Amino acid sequence: MGDNKEKTTIVLFSGELDKAIAAFIIANGAAAYDHEVTIFMTFWGLNVLRKDQKISVKKGFLERIFGKMMPRGAEKLGISKMNFGGMGPKMIKHVMKKHNALSLPQLIELAQEQGVKLIACTMTMDLLGLQQEELLDGIEYAGVAAYLGDAADAKVNLFI
């Protein structure tokens, strides 16, 4: 964690497959160039970090509804265009596999191996009623202040 490393931060606000893939490709590329990389997952972007199985936790009514309506993890996301009731994401995944491109779950795993810091926005978790047990292991929990601390030191800051 040297202070001389280049830094890159990404706010991942969107919960769509194509945007999440773009975010993780940029993050992994920057990490490969030895940047210190942070992805701050907020709002719908938090869905990317959800485990794909149903986790039994105590929730209020509205939080339960949100939990059911929102996609459960990287495998379930829709895309931002040409979704066609789920056909679009299938086509994208098919074509990525055919070209030996990493899938989103693989991109996330690679990011974690490369030390990309994945931060779940605690304010969003609170609002949408998401709990730590429902999210992937190995992530950090923080608010917008932590993001801003990293961003003020970084040259490349993107909002996706």
Binding site for a second copy (CB under 8 A): 6, 11, 13-15, 18-19, 22, 25-26, 29-30, 33, 35, 42-44, 62, 65-66, 69-70, 80-82, 91-92, 94-96, 98-99, 101, 123, 126-128, 144-145, 147-148, 151-152, 154-160
Compute the distance between CA of residue 83 and CA of residue 81 in angstroms, rounded to an integer: 5
Query: Which residue number, 52 or 148, has a Cβ lying nearer to a second copy?
Result: 148
Compute the distance between CA of residue 108 and CA of residue 115 in angstroms, rounded to an integer: 11
CB of 28 to a second copy, least distance (A): 9
CB of 121 to a second copy, least distance (A): 10
DSSP-assigned beta bridge partners for residue 140: 119
Q: Which residues of 23-35 are buried (b: 16+ CB within 10 A; e: fewer)?
A: bbbbbbebbeeeb
CB of 135 to a second copy, least distance (A): 19
Query: Which residue number, 113 or 126, has a Cβ lying nearer to a second copy?
Result: 126
- Going by C-alpha positions, the residue among 103, 114, 112, 111 that lies closest to residue 76 is 103
